[in-house]
Amino acid sequence: MEMKCPGNAIVRRPEIVLLTCPKCGGEVELFTDEEKATCECGEIVFREKTASCMDWCKYAKECFEKGGVKYV
């Protein structure tokens, strides 16, 4: 059985996040692997950055490269 790091699940299986546009109050949809999305009103809405294993794990680069996910 191959072990996979649970820390890179957000990259392997992104989920939808709903944000509120600060300009018009509209709902903006983006995926957990995206930093920003554009609201229907034209405002760019940014998702708050959260720490991931890529920020602190010393094996992150190797793990992501072996998992077929390009490490950036």
Chain position carrying tokens 């390009």: 70
pLDDT at 62: 75
The C-alpha angle with vertex 1 and arms to 33 and 69, in degrees rounded to 5, equals: 25
pTM here is 0.57
Q: What is the pLDDT along the chain (72 residues), one digit of tens a residue?
A: 455 666 555 566 788 989 999 999 999 999 887 889 999 999 999 988 766 777 778 877 777 666 555 444
Give alpha helix (H) positions in 2-68. Answer: 9-12, 53-56, 60-66
> Residue 24's closest CA among 42, 9, 11, 8?
42
